[in-house]
Amino acid sequence: MSLSINLPLILSAAFVASASPGSATLAIADTAMQAGRRTGLALALGVVTGSLTWSIAAALGLAAVMASSVWMIEGMRHCGGAYLLYLAYRSARSAIRGPVARPPDAVEGSVSRAYAKGLALHLTNPKAILFFGSLYTLGLSPRTSPAELVLVIAAIGLQSALIFTGYAWLFSNGRMARGYLRLRRWFEGAFALLFAGAGLRVLTARLPI
């Protein structure tokens, strides 16, 4: 059976966008090294949920609607930029203050917080809805059936899950964790600068809308 979709092209573009260093992968690496694999995976799954949300929205045609609502995109852009600057502040404070003892229940609670953090990080990224909108425009055709559309959404979702959870597994291994503990302040300082840079880029970007 021949498909009316260019699935390899769609997955290739989505792979590059997901695997490239960005705010999501940066947050996953930071969390996995600092809080461990379980919390890193929770944040990664939050990012995947946000990515899947935008993917479904774009597939249903909501990307075009949102792209035409300048005030909505601008509001998301400012929220996303502000959130990244908040993460920069947290990392900078941690780098200055050094290790702080956490109560035992903080580790358990951090799993749900990490998921919410990953979800918020991706849902407040206005470039995500624009990316998925352009991605589906690039790889789909007017002859695309609902079944093929579901296939594309599922394939992108699975690929994103493998990439983001892979980052969590990579940065939570023993060697990475030991290196983080030895150089914790340097890592946090670097993450602070990178989060701040990402936040400022989002706030000053001119989105193609």
Residues 39-53: pLDDT tens digits? Answer: 999 999 999 999 998
> 49-75, pLDDT tens digit by residue?
999 988 888 777 765 555 555 565 566
Q: Structure pTM?
A: 0.69
The pLDDT, as a whole number, for residue 200 is 77
Q: Give the model confidence (pLDDT) of 19-28 as tens digits.
A: 766 778 888 8
Provide the residue ranges of all domains of the chain, joining segments of one domain with +: 21-204
User: What's the pLDDT at 47?
Assistant: 93
With bands split at pLDDT 50, 70 and 90, how would you rate the model's confidence at 18?
confident
CA-based nearest residue to 37, from 199, 206, 175, 173: 173
Closest CA to 67 of 10, 127, 123, 137: 127
